[in-house]
Amino acid sequence: MEDFDKKKEKSEEHESDVHVINQAVYRANGAGYNDPTRSTHIWVTDAVEDAKPKQLTSGDFDEEDATLSGIKEGAIYGTIVQQPFEFGYQSMIKLAKAIGGDKSGIPPSKLDIVQTLAIKKDGVDDFIVKINKLRGRS
């Protein structure tokens, strides 16, 4: 009887890593559905045709070299980049101007959005040139 109770306790401690999202709007509180402590990927399944899940995303993300190479080679369809290097670059330019007294680049809301980009095969070469320049690789 004790062994059964210990197994039951142990199984109750485990929390599944699987999170099923079946709503078009999920956590519309700004937090989104990603857990920042680990990589997450998107899977889809069609229970009528084939109950086997198909992974839509994998590996690195954003503007990692491996992701961009995969897009260029056709192994990855595309990626959404949040442009952290562009964000940092623009911040430093505006900060340097503000220190010199020119605050014209700071919007009244004090919020300056750096657009996210969808990078696919037709634009990956241009993006690689841009990101390498920002990384000091050119």
Domain with 25 in it = 2-134
Instruction: Count other Cβ atoms within 10 Å, centred on residue 68.
Output: 22
| H or E, element range at 51 | strand 50-55
pLDDT of residue 26: 46
**How many residues can be counted in the chain?**
138
pLDDT of residue 122: 95
Residue bearing tokens 């078009």:
24
The domain tally of the chain equals 1
pTM for this entry:
0.53
CA distance 60 to 70: 10
119 bridge partner residues: 79
Could you list the mean pLDDT of each consecutive 10-residue stretch along the chain, which spans 138 residues? Answer: 52 64 53 56 67 65 83 87 85 92 90 87 94 86
Both tokens of 99, joined, read: 């220190």
Chain centroid to CA 78: how far? 12
Instruction: Count other Cβ atoms within 10 Å, centred on residue 106.
Output: 14
Express the helix, strand and coil content of the chain in percent, nearest 5 each. Answer: 35, 15, 50
CA distance 74 to 56: 14
**59 DSSP assignment:** S
Give me the helices (H) in 32-83, please: 65-73
